[in-house]
Structure 1
Amino acid sequence: MFPDAHRHALVIGASRGLGLVLAVELTRRGWRVTATTRTSGGELRAHAAGSAGRLTVETLEMTSSAQLTALRERLSGHHFGLLFVNAAIDRGNLPISEVPAEMFTEVMTTNALSPLHTLEALRALVVPGGTVAVMSSEQGSVSRNTEDGFELYKASKAALNQLMRSYATRYADDGHTKLLIDPGHNRTRLGGPGAPLVAEETIPAVVDVLEAQAGAPGLQFLDRRGEVVPW
């Protein structure tokens, strides 16, 4: 567990779905949470309004370097025990031969490049012994890619994992716990209505993992049960 002084989390991408439930669950457990949304974030702001100040909302389009810089400046007086980046888009189940360059660039930018830009921009706000985590997916596991479909999404998550590995190598001595989290296939806008899991059951398990791994060295790729996902 994080010491009480470190129980302030920065959750990037919390307007809906897994990110929203994560922000709310952390707040429920007594964390102070700063959460970001690209747009109005009505549901997130509603939770913030009823949180007695434990949940605050910031606006961020994380593909914008200018907005990342502005957020870092706004939060310059804050210190966080957890920085969690949650972001992903999916543009359908096209074989890679049919994916236009513009779509490839959009998905790779949102799912792989922007999360790492976000970590680079905000990592200095994380306290020594704190955790830096990114929402990944089992679909990014190269060794488990044994079924057809969703080639671009899989590639973007594999790229995210590889970039996170490079990040962990670059900052091996910074004292931060580094995690890639596979939350499973959840019933969200991204996961679709037929997904077997629901965020309200999945995310408490994810937070258990985050809290249990606090202070662990190096980079780990873990699922919601805390089990290792093969690269």
Structure 2
Amino acid sequence: MTQSQKNALIVGASRGLGLGLVETFLARGWRVTATQRSPSPDLARLDAQSLRIETADIDDEASVVALHDRLASERFDLIFVVAGVATQAHDPVHAVPREVAAQVFLTNAVSPIRFAEAFLDRLAPGGSIALMSSILGSVSLNESGGWETYRASKAALNTLARSFEIRHRAENISVLILHPGWVRTDMGGQEADIDVATSVTGLADVIEAQLGRPGAQYLDYRGETLAW
């Protein structure tokens, strides 16, 4: 890695937005470490000298610790936790089995913050920790209901992200809480507003513009601030 080359860790990069972000940052000259929970043919097809692929599960503490150890020599300008689930998202909370709802909260809210805490010592000076949230995590903008467990898990992520930044405020860390738009992916569906390329290009622009800015910011892929 050259002295001026930026270094990113993209967590949850096997497909969709994570994969798109890996491709985008590589195209912009970044060095990228991309994680997958299980082998991803799409990720494996990316032939780039600046790409490193690792396997890790953010819900598995031992897996996160092992990844942290394997990346001991690395310092990242961007650590972006993209991984998330939307299991039974269309069902009201009372219709979702307790264990399913608990898993959604673990993967979408608890595990990303635990990962950020574990990898904070791998963040380079002037870098940012980014977390993939959603406009559905905004409590004040919830005027249509629906997606109850998913909404609540992203609202919880937003709250925990703010608390994480406050807990480390003396260190002037940068936390970017990002909404990718309604994107045509397996999760977003084919009726969504925008394609992956539009979303990840916007997200990369926002990240590069806000990189290292202290505090917690809740932004969409166009750089607009969202209401909590």
TM normalised by structure 2 equals 0.96
Task: Check whether the contact 1:6–1:127 (CA below 8 A) recurs between aligned residues.
Answer: no
Residues in 1 aligned to 2:223 and 2:41: alpha-carbon distance in whole angstroms: 32
Asked whether the 8 Å contact 1:6–1:130 carries over to 2, the reply is: no
CA contact under 8 A between 2:78 and 2:128: conserved in structure 1?
yes
Which residue among 72, 76, 88 is the counterpart of 1:76? 72
Q: Is the 8 A contact 1:10 1:34 kept in 2?
A: yes
What is the CA–CA distance in structure 2 between the aligned matches of 1:6 and 1:174, rounded to whole Å? 24
* 1:136 equivalent in structure 2: 133
Counting only pairs closer than 5 Å after superposition, residues 164-183 of structure 1 correspond to structure 2 as: 164-183=161-180
Deviation at 1:5, TM superposition (A): 3.5
CA contact (8 A) 1:128 1:174 kept: no
- Cα distance in 2 for partners of 1:148, 1:164 equals 23
2:14 aligned partner: 15
Q: Residue 118 of structure 1 aligns with which residue?
A: 115
Q: 2:86 aligns with which of 84, 87, 90?
A: 90
Secondary structure of the 2:54 match is strand
Q: How does 1:89-108 map to 2 (within 5 A)?
A: 89-92=85-88, 93-108=90-105
**Mean CA deviation greater in 69-78 or 85-94:** 85-94
Counterpart AA for 1:135:
M
Q: Structure 1: which 4+ aligned runs deviate by more than 6 Å? A: none
Alpha-carbon distance in 2 for matches of 1:176, 1:81 = 12
- Give distance in 2, aligned partners of 1:134 and 1:79: 18
Q: Deviations over 1:30-67 (max 9, x none)?
A: 000000000111111111xx21x211100001100000
> 1-side partners of 2:158 and 2:152: how far apart?
10
Equivalent pair of 2:26/2:50 in contact (CA under 8 Å): yes
How many angstroms apart in 2 are the aligned matches of 1:173 and 1:23? Answer: 31
SS state at 1:154 partner? helix
C-alpha contact (below 8 Å) 2:87/2:104 kept by paired residues: yes
Aligned equivalent of 1:212: 209
- Work out the percentage of aligned pairs sharing the same amino acid: 42
Runs of 5+ consecutive residues of structure 2 not aligned to the other structure: none
Residue of structure 1 in register with 2:54 after alignment:
58
Quick one: distance in 2 between partners of 1:223 and 1:35? 22
Give the CA deviation at 1:187.
0.6
CA RMSD of aligned residues (A): 1.2
Match of 2:221 among 208, 216, 224: 224
Q: Determine the C-alpha separation between the residues in 2 that align with 1:4 and 1:194.
A: 43
Q: Which residue of 2 aligns with 1:38?
A: 37
Distance 2:81 2:223 in 1: 18
Q: In the alignment, is the contact (CA less than 8 A) between 2:5 and 2:29 conserved in 1? A: no
Q: Tell me by how many angstroms 1:149 deviates.
A: 1.0
SS at match of 1:173: helix
CA deviation after TM superposition for structure 1 residue 6, in Å? 5.8
For structure 1, the residue ranges without an aligned partner over 5 or more in a row are none
TM-score, scaled to structure 1:
0.95
